[in-house]
Structure 1
Amino acid sequence: MQLAEALAEYGHARVRSELGYAGEDPDEMQGMFELRYRGARFSLGYGACPNLEDRAKIADLLQPERIGVHLSEEFQLHPEQSTDAIVIHHPEARYFNAGARA
């Protein structure tokens, strides 16, 4: 599970880099832990996106079975530890109402 989360964060960092926002990332690790970088990654089933049923809409668009990932009737991804997210790179995107960046 930690590897899946780490890869998701790596992907998010790579997108920031490709969009030219990596220079805005904090210099210190504590700033990364405090989410002091541009954009936010929202995962279905958690507080900001609680409705797992929305995962079916995303699966219809992305067709994850092309890479061997399937959606169960309970809206869980298989194989176990697969992950998905919605990544938004707007400068004001925050997870809930996190404070302004310093």
Structure 2
Amino acid sequence: YEKELYDAGKYLEYNMVHGFSVELAEALAEVVHKQIRMDLDILKEDEGATLRDVRMKRYHGSRYSFGYPACPDLEASRELFDVLKPEEFGIELSETFQIHPEQSTSALVVHHGKAGYYAV
């Protein structure tokens, strides 16, 4: 749909749809991360056992994605794809190890209480 808008020169609509879809993907990642914490029973004391109070990046553990400072090697995505086979759902890895569609995301979720963000 985004491509249709862009190709038709509807740039405002394209940017609104694109921006919304990117934010929606990030919000869904937060919801899935909260669900994992609920399933493992490792919620923080001030965190309710419900998906109604998902809070961005204020939780037990960390979520690392390839291409960011803690996991800078995008090529590692190939191994993740080999295991999870997201191609079955229409998610592909480019020759430069970018995930397509762009709004797709992957992460390694670490639930140790002292896990934090760092650069390699």
Q: Quickly name the TM-score band, shorter chain normalised.
A: 0.7 to 0.9
With normalisation by structure 1, the TM-score equals 0.80
Does residue 3 in structure 1 map to residue 24 in structure 2?
yes
Counterparts of 1:26 and 1:36, CA distance in 2? 10
State the 1:36 CA deviation: 4.0
Identity of aligned residues (%): 48
Change (3 A) 1:13 1:25: farther
Bigger helix fraction: 2
Cα displacement string for residues 2-43 of structure 1 (whole angstroms, at most 9, x for unaligned residues): 111110011000100111112x1545xxxx45x442110001
Paired positions, count: 91
Question: Quick one: higher RCO (CA 8 Å, sep 6+), 1 or 2?
Answer: 1
C-alpha separation in 2, matches of 1:66 and 1:25: 38
Structure 1 residues without counterparts, runs of 5 or longer: 98-102
- CA distance 1:96–1:63, change in 2 (3 Å): same
Larger-Rg structure: 2
Query: Deviation above 2 Å: which 4+ runs of structure 1?
Result: none
| TM-score between both structures, scaled by the size of structure 2 | 0.69
Unaligned runs of 5+ in 2: 1-21, 48-54
